[in-house]
């Protein structure tokens, strides 16, 4: 088997898929052998069952099955499809491909990232604090491929009513509370869109950039991300992680690839294989990434993270917030956390019989943070200018 180190344009999609085949199989076998998937289970106190917490601590990730039911999933799929359709016709356009005003031209943060099909936009660049040191393989797209594809979408709580409701999901918030404490706070959100035969790579990286040298560094200090999967995920299109790598401090990813004869097929990695409606948690310190999607299957992952409050308080803005020179003070954290409370109420207004999550920092503020036009404007509009990236 050839190793995967050809630069862009030097490898066809067919060759690429053939070179990946054994690696994908090996990863899948290993993934299935791990004891870290199942339904959400609560302990007697209503928090996440310790078996699950222990498994998450051991491996750095966990797959919760059947978290989002079919009806809700269909709502999220419809809102996501609409957001993709309403993207600017090409980067910089103010109209979508049907000539309508593109979504989000009035948002304070651009909601779309476009890339060239099958490319790796971050690997080997200084972007996002330079946290993606090595480039992935970029196969040559088919002749009929578009020039650009949507790779990421931001601002889901503002752009997608069903995503705002998902953000208030009681099981997901209970999981966040169980991992990061009752005063847990948001990080950010992003929707990864990996279209069949077009979706790009996310080069191997660890998410956190702030606390590697902190005196109180530990395996959970950079928080974790959820991914809710809208479609079945496969080894060819899914996110890959190296189990246990969240415990080992800052990884020398460039060195790992060099040691692997320059191949991006890092040994020991596993794909997150999910059914539609499953939700994963991934520790942000894990070495993780995803490959160009030459498969016939789409992956759309609704991704949003949470932190321990003390991990962000007083920290300087990083990653997507780089350049704002912000420091995450009490006011900013409170304002960003208010999105959780409004989301809980937006959800309650649709799913009236469901037991809502009690977000402790807002237990006595529920009435002020009901979902309404007023709170949409004061809390949700441009909420992601207050993301808490570390």
Q: Which residues bind ligand AKG (CB under 6 A)?
A: 192, 202, 207, 225, 239, 288, 290, 301, 303
Instruction: Note whether 223 and 180 are within 8 A (CB).
Output: yes
Distance CA 300, CA 187 (A): 19
Give whichever of 55 and 303 is closer to ligand AKG, judged by the CB atom.
303
- 11 vs 286 by CB, closer to ligand AKG: 286
List beta partners, residue 195: none
Using CA atoms, how far apart are residues 283 and 206, in angstroms rounded to an integer?
A: 9
| Nearest CB to ligand AKG, comparing residues 133 and 342 | 133
In which element (H, E) is residue 113 found? strand 112-115
Distance of closest approach, residue 225 Cβ to ligand AKG, in angstroms:
5
Distance CA 225, CA 235 (A): 19
Minimum CB–partner distance for residue 303 and ligand AKG (Å):
5
Which two tokens mark 349? 């207004």
Cα-based distances in Å from 161 to 44, 128, 305: 33, 28, 18
CB of 363 to ligand AKG, least distance (A): 30
For residues 163 and 344, which CB has a smaller minimum distance to ligand AKG in the complex?
A: 163
Give the per-residue SS3 of 193-246.
EECCCCCCCEEEECCCCCCCCCCCCCCCCCCEEEEEECCCCCCCCCEEECCCHH
| Structure token pair of residue 66 | 């059947």
Q: Which of 200, 338 has the CB closer to ligand AKG?
A: 200
Q: How far is the CB of 128 from ligand AKG (least distance, A)?
A: 10
Q: Which is nearer to ligand AKG, 166 or 379 (CB)?
A: 166
For residues 286 and 242, what is the distance between their CA atoms, to the nearest angstrom?
A: 7
Which residue in the block uniquely carries the two structure tokens 């799913």?
351
Q: Whose CB is nearest to ligand AKG?
A: 290
d(CA 173, CA 339): 12
* 207 or 345: CB nearest ligand AKG: 207
Nearer to ligand AKG, 164 or 193 (CB): 193
CA distance 372 to 378: 10
d(CA 20, CA 4) in angstroms, rounded, equals 8
**Least distance CB 190 / ligand AKG (angstroms):** 7
């Amino acid at each position: 088997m050839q190793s995967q180190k050809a630069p862009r344009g030097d490898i066809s999609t067919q060759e690429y898929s053939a070179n990946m085949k054994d690696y994908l199989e090996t990863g899948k076998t290993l993934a299935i052998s791990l004891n870290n998937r199942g339904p959400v289970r609560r302990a007697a106190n209503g928090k996440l069952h310790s078996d699950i917490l222990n498994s998450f601590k051991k491996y750095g990730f966990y797959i919760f099955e059947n978290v989002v039911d079919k009806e809700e999933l269909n709502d999220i799929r419809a809102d996501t499809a609409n957001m993709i359709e309403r993207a600017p016709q090409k980067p910089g356009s103010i109209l979508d491909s049907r000539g309508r005003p593109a979504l989000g031209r009035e948002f304070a943060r651009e909601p779309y990232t476009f890339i060239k099909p099958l490319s790796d936009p971050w690997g080997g660049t200084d972007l996002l604090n330079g946290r993606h040191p090595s480039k992935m393989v970029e196969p040559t797209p088919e002749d009929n491929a578009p020039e650009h594809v949507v790779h990421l979408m931001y601002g889901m709580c503002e752009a997608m009513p069903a995503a705002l409701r998902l953000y208030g999901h009681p099981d997901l918030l209970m999981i966040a509370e169980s991992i990061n404490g009752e005063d847990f706070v948001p990080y950010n959100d992003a929707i990864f869109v990996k279209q069949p035969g077009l979706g790009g790579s996310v080069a191997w990286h660890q998410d956190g950039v702030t606390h590697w040298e902190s005196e109180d560094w530990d395996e959970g200090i950079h928080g974790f991300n959820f991914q809710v999967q809208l479609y079945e995920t496969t080894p060819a299109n899914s996110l890959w992680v190296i189990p246990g790598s969240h415990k080992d401090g800052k990884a020398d990813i460039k060195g790992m690839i060099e040691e692997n004869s320059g191949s991006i097929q890092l040994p020991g990695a596993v794909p997150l294989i999910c059914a539609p409606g499953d939700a994963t948690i991934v520790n942000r310190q894990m070495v993780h990434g995803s490959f160009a999607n030459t498969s016939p299957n789409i992956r759309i992952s609704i991704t949003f993270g949470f932190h321990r409050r003390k991990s962000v308080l007083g920290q300087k803005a990083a990653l997507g917030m780089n350049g704002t020179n912000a420091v995450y003070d009490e006011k900013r954290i409170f304002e960003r956390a208010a999105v959780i409370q409004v989301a809980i109420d937006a959800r309650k207004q649709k799913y009236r019989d469901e037991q809502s999550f009690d977000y402790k920092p807002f237990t006595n503020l529920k009435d002020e943070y009901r979902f309404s036009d007023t709170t949409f404007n004061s809390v949700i509009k441009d909420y992601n200018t207050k993301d808490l990236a570390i």
